[in-house]
Structure 1
Amino acid sequence: MNRVVITGAGTINPLGQSVPETQEAMREGRCGIGALEFRDVERLAIRIGGQVKGFEPDSVFNRQQLALYDRFTQFTLLAARQAVTQSGLQFIGELADRSGVILGTSGGGLLTQDENYRAVYEDGKNRVHPFVVPKLMNNAAASHVSMEFNVKGPSFTVATACASSNHAMGQAFMMIRSGLCTAMITGGSESMLCFGGVKAWEGLRVMSKDACRPFSATRNGMVQGEGAGVFVFEEYEHARARGAEILGEVIGFAMTSDAADIVMPSRQGASRAISGALKDGRIARDRVGYINAHGTGTAANDKTECAAVADVFGTHADDLMISSTKSMHGHLIGGTGAVELLACLMALNEGVIAPTIGYEEPDPECALDVVPNTAREAEVDVVLSNAFAFGGLNAVLALSRA
């Protein structure tokens, strides 16, 4: 079984357009959630979100590329360029053949769908652009990343709602660990912040109109976000031989299905995923110092997740730090686990635990150390990243310092 390390990271999200910017915002407890800006927003009941501001696609991509790249693909390519550049890898020869791309997304090209539905149903047009299908398909981002970097091995997209990027990174981890691949470009992206995307989520009645306050007794729902997080996972000996900077090591992964309800989370399913990641990585419970929670800010998720953590860790749960960075950047749906992994790397490499901001009042059913409002300095050796999705699909990653 090969060891798997992270040698590159990139992101664009509501907190920043690079990893350093994002981690600085996390250290400061800065909020990237604000008023939404797009067509017909005044028709929505929910008008806040974690929207990427100050991003000009025309300054990065040419007209031909923009005809093919939905916003979620644009985000992915920007993050992938940062990650591959940091890794120092060049995908040529055998390395190109033994490397792949596995990315997560839930909605894929939702903005493209929204715009073209408008054109046909509202504006009465009978023709759409010939590239609508390759622009909106869920695998578009993965395909464009493989083409840009000449990656010729296993490449595909995972769509498991809010756990998509954790599932994608878990698959990438297992492919390298098994010896099938040497390196993988992996992570996830999402861009659902358009009229149709927000209107659909409104129907679930789980959205907050003012803020995301995970674990706080005053919470009133989740807040959507957008963006991408992309990483280069690499076989340890390969990275070591070329003198690569190692950002962290992936040491465990597990995924479970609740097999219970399409929207309500299961304490047992979440517990089995957390326990499975520990077992897979042969990790003693008392080695885990920090958990980046799924932490959506809904009562159902927060109480279930805290109960699952208490089940798995027992008395050690009192010594754990668990925070939700969704309070700062919102819920990036299929891309959320990827951006949240940056908080895990910050904890391992800098000894800084990202806070749960917006915390106002303790909830007796979430009686864990949720690192309220202010980042904390603490040395940790092992961290977990939780993702629990609609459909009862759970994925947990375990990381350590290499």
Structure 2
Amino acid sequence: MADLKVFRRGADGRDVELRGSTVARERELQRRVEGALEAMLGVRFLASEYATGPWHQGRIDTLGLDEDGVPVVIEFKRGRDAGVIAQAGSYLVWLLAHRHEFEALVRRQLGADAAEAVDWRRPRVICVAGEFSRHDRAAASLYQRDYRVDLVRYRVFGPDLLTLQLVETVPGFSASGASPVPAAPADEANNEPEAGAVSAGVAQVEVPGCLRELYGELDEVLTAAGELEAPESRLLPALERYTGGIAPQLSARFAGHREARGRIRFLSAAYGLVRADDLLASYDQRLDAGLAGQLRPVVAEQIRRDFTTNGVPRRVLLVLEPDYLVLLADLLALPERPALHWISDPRGWPQAAAVLDEWRWP
């Protein structure tokens, strides 16, 4: 019995099956579920109709945080929609590229403790629709390496009764597939900056050719319809993701030096403070004064966590434009901050290399 059946007892004492239907308007369904989101789906409400900016040009129906602190994207469809899985997947790519923006939203809505506890290991998608096809269920499995996908079928029975039925869940493998690499201990005998890093691995899952073809067809349909621009969805280590500034020279110099590579940090307008081996999605985000003001407390908290975990380094080389110094204002104000060597030219590799040579690092 695949479908949920609902019965009402009649005046004669016999149970009569009620025939469910879909809502007249998608927004009606969205408002109803959002009104009791935690009770219905176990998700705390953050935002409705959240705009994803001029590059992505999308609008996420509902953003939330589940009981485990995992980010949740919720998409609603009145009936059956062949593009719902691909559309939700594109929003996940956007979400991963704008972690600081999501955490700032959590901080505003749920407080600092909730923002600090956000778990990015396995973001979730919940699709609520009147019907799902077998192709929808197959498409959901494409995301099983990194994300959890829940397909929820709804039905309304008159003006008062709404049912939600979980018809498919793809749990994702990231939580068990991640392979943390312990931070290497600081070398007490030399003058290298003391820091550490954790490099996350990703479980490798063989995707059948038929599913790859299906994903390609869905992507082509959405892109052709102007629903989204097709971003590069691969996750790459930050040191490979960034190709400007001194990143290529850093990558070449630190190749094979795992411990030293773990002490590299990037300041990103999309992610805040990231490690060299943090996996990043492609993004297009420029730092401006407004964004710097929003991102500053996020970076301050990231630095605090980094120093708490790995210790305060004795010295730090900064290679960044003056605009990015705003993000480090709280670091600069520390009474016992590291010794800082600042190079204002983001392409100033000769100067940076001279400092690294002086430090004999690596």
Q: Place the TM-score, normalised by the shorter chain, in its bin.
A: under 0.3
TM-score normalised to the size of structure 2? 0.26
TM-score normalised to the size of structure 1? 0.24
Higher relative contact order structure (alpha carbons within 8 Å, sequence separation ≥ 6): 1
